[in-house]
Amino acid sequence: MTGTEAEFVTAYELHQAHGKRRPQVLLYRCARNPEIDMGSAKLAEQLAQLQANATGPNSLTGIAFNRNHPEAVDLQELPNHRVVRELGPASVGGIGTARGLADFYAAAIDGRLLKPDTIAAVGQIHSAGADLVTRQPAAFGLGFSSSATAYPVLGQGAFGHPGATGTEAFADPRNGIAYGYVRRRFGFPAGPGPENQGLVRALHAAATPA
């Protein structure tokens, strides 16, 4: 699907009415791919913001993102390295599609992957506060982020994880929702793209009773 959040809601309602009886999977794809104006004031402002908040390679953030290694490569280059694709590191370098992410989280809550007690356990918040690596507020369950904290409209116990490029994926067991979103370009700043807030609200409105 391409277009606006309103069109997204319409597409989901049709999918819900005619789709399978399991946590719903919907691919949202924005076809708009605007050109980047390298001389724009917004880009200059973003670059200045990055420089003002830059961390050193030997800081906690630098070490966490491997920038202290003498042969470190940029984050966006990692998935193009054969060794990364072969080893599939758990912390970075995941390769997949929005549909693949959504179906993974659907499988996590429809009985294909996790048992009910496991689903309940991973969605419980075990730590919350300031993330010392990203320097952002964060809440984590067991191995996953607390998606219900990031998106308050979701049911308690929703779990998932954002990506550094602006991607987002999660499962909401209480509402039977599985969500996967990927971007064509990095978001600013790093972390889940701000458009996810509107998309998640639209998805929740379409998937749950009024």
**Antiparallel, parallel or unpaired: β 137-140 and 168-172:** unpaired
Inform me whether the pLDDT recorded for 170 exceeds 90: yes
What CA–CA distance (Å, rounded) separates 1 from 88? Answer: 30
What CA–CA distance (Å, rounded) separates 173 from 112? Answer: 13
| Angle formed at CA 97 by CA 102 and CA 152, multiple of 5 degrees | 40
Give me the pLDDT at residue 71, please: 78
Give me the pLDDT at residue 116, please: 94
- Tens-digit pLDDT profile for residues 74-87: 766 777 778 777 77
DSSP state of 20: -
Give me the pLDDT at residue 3, please: 45
Structural contact between residues 204 and 189, judged by C-beta atoms closer than 8 angstroms: no
Return the CATH number of the domain spanning residue range 5-32+41-52+97-207: 3.40.710.10
Q: How far is CA 147 from the centre of its chain?
A: 9
Give me the pLDDT at residue 16, please: 59
| Angle formed at CA 96 by CA 17 and CA 113, multiple of 5 degrees | 65
- Tens-digit pLDDT profile for residues 34-64: 455 555 676 677 667 666 777 788 888 888 7
Give me the pLDDT at residue 18, please: 52
Cut 0.85: pTM above it: no
125 membership: H or E segment, kind and range: none
